[in-house]
């Protein structure tokens, strides 16, 4: 049960991501993403380098190749998801990006041979039903169109690949090493993209820079590293389903901190999501 408590910590931490991003709204999406990952990598460096040196023998060329793919997917996840917040609400964006358990379940079954038990399938169906209910009838910005939805779903797909590679690599390397290398590689990818796009790195308000730092500390270092730790002990699809609790936390925080409305369907759908998470986790702990 300890691993699920760690996942819960990760969910709470990542629920703050959409809030910090909204408060840093003056910065382009890619700049927000690159600051988040660059700062997280720098903060982790003093501790992580010691772990990297101690695990050099376990870190093979094949491990590096998979880690590079994971870093690219993490970079694309942040680039697409953060961009989606420019076009749609916090609740809808977080809901759609959280569709990644479907991708994780299918790809995990195909490539990692992770078994799709009846409880996992039922948990996914219940949670997705809740997501549909939560997003029903939500008012979108007039100019949004489908852009925000497409970007958020793409973010979910890239997150699924990131989790599956993490599940694979965490069998041989520590959460700290995997997280540090992945965050660093993702940061490099985003730096290259932002430089090529000619986006401004400076000229933002103090509040925005504080949000960059909070994004690195809370959702990234605490949140994502918690998930990466759990991936060694829990199938990737279980982690992905549990993370579906994030839309509930993000919606509640958006109501408290940003005064965004919470509709009745958000509450009703949230119940389905929580039931799906409970069913999956309970059956995993007590047998399927």
Higher confidence at residue 207 or residue 4?
A: 207
Which pLDDT belongs to residue 139?
55
Higher confidence at residue 236 or residue 40?
A: 40
283: pLDDT strictly greater than 70: no
Which pLDDT belongs to residue 162?
93
Averaged pLDDT score across all residues of the chain: 86
The H-assigned helical ranges of 170-260 are 175-197, 206-215, 225-230, 236-242, 246-257
Region 172-187 average pLDDT:
94
Single out the residue of 31, 86, 38, 40 nearest to residue 204, CA to CA: 31
Take residue 98 and report the two structure tokens written for it. Answer: 């959280």
If you ran DSSP here, which 8-state letter would residue 243 be given? G
15: Cα within 13 Å, side-chain hemisphere: 22
229: pLDDT strictly greater than 60: yes
* pLDDT band at 142; cut points 50, 70, 90: very low
Region 230-239 average pLDDT:
88
Cα–Cα distance for residue pair 104/97, rounded to 1 Å: 12
For CA atoms 106, 99, 78, 3, the dihedral sign is negative
> Which of 10-19, 118-127, 134-143, 153-162 is predicted with the least confidence, judged by mean pLDDT?
134-143
Percent of the chain with pLDDT over 70: 92
Higher confidence at residue 267 or residue 13?
A: 13
Report domain extents, the chain.
2-114+141-239
Percent of the chain with pLDDT over 90: 43
CB-count burial class (<10 Å; 0-12, 13-18, 19+) for 57: exposed
Q: Which residues contact 44 (CB under 8 A, 6 or more apart)?
A: 176, 179, 180, 183, 221
Which pLDDT belongs to residue 90?
66
């Amino acid at each position: 049960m300890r691993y699920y408590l760690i996942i819960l910590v990760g969910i709470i931490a990542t629920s703050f991501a959409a809030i910090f991003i909204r408060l840093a709204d003056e910065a382009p999406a890619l700049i927000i993403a690159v600051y988040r990952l660059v700062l997280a990598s720098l903060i982790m460096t003093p501790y992580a380098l010691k772990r990297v040196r101690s695990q050099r023998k376990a870190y093979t060329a094949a491990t590096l190749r998979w880690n590079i793919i994971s870093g690219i997917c993490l970079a694309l996840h942040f680039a697409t998801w953060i961009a989606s917040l420019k076009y749609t609400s916090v609740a809808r964006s977080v809901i759609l990006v959280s569709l990644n358990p479907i991708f994780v379940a299918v790809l995990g079954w195909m490539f990692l041979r992770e078994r799709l038990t009846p409880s996992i399938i039922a948990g996914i169906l219940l949670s997705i039903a809740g997501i549909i209910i939560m997003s029903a009838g939500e008012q979108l910005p007039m100019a949004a169109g489908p852009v925000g939805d497409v970007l958020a779903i793409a973010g979910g797909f890239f997150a699924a690949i990131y989790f599956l590679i993490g599940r694979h690599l965490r069998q041989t390397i520590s959460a700290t090493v995997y997280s540090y290398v992945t965050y660093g590689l993702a940061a490099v990818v985003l730096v290259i993209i932002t430089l090529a796009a000619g986006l401004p790195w400076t000229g933002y308000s103090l509040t925005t820079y504080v949000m960059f730092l909070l994004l690195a500390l809370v959702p990234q270092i605490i949140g994502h590293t918690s998930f990466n730790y759990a991936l060694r002990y829990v199938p990737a699809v279980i982690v992905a389903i549990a993370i579906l609790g994030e839309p509930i936390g993000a919606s509640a925080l958006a109501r408290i901190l940003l005064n965004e409305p919470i509709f009745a369907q958000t509450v009703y759908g949230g119940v389905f999501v929580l039931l799906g998470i409970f069913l999956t986790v309970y059956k995993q702990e007590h047998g399927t």
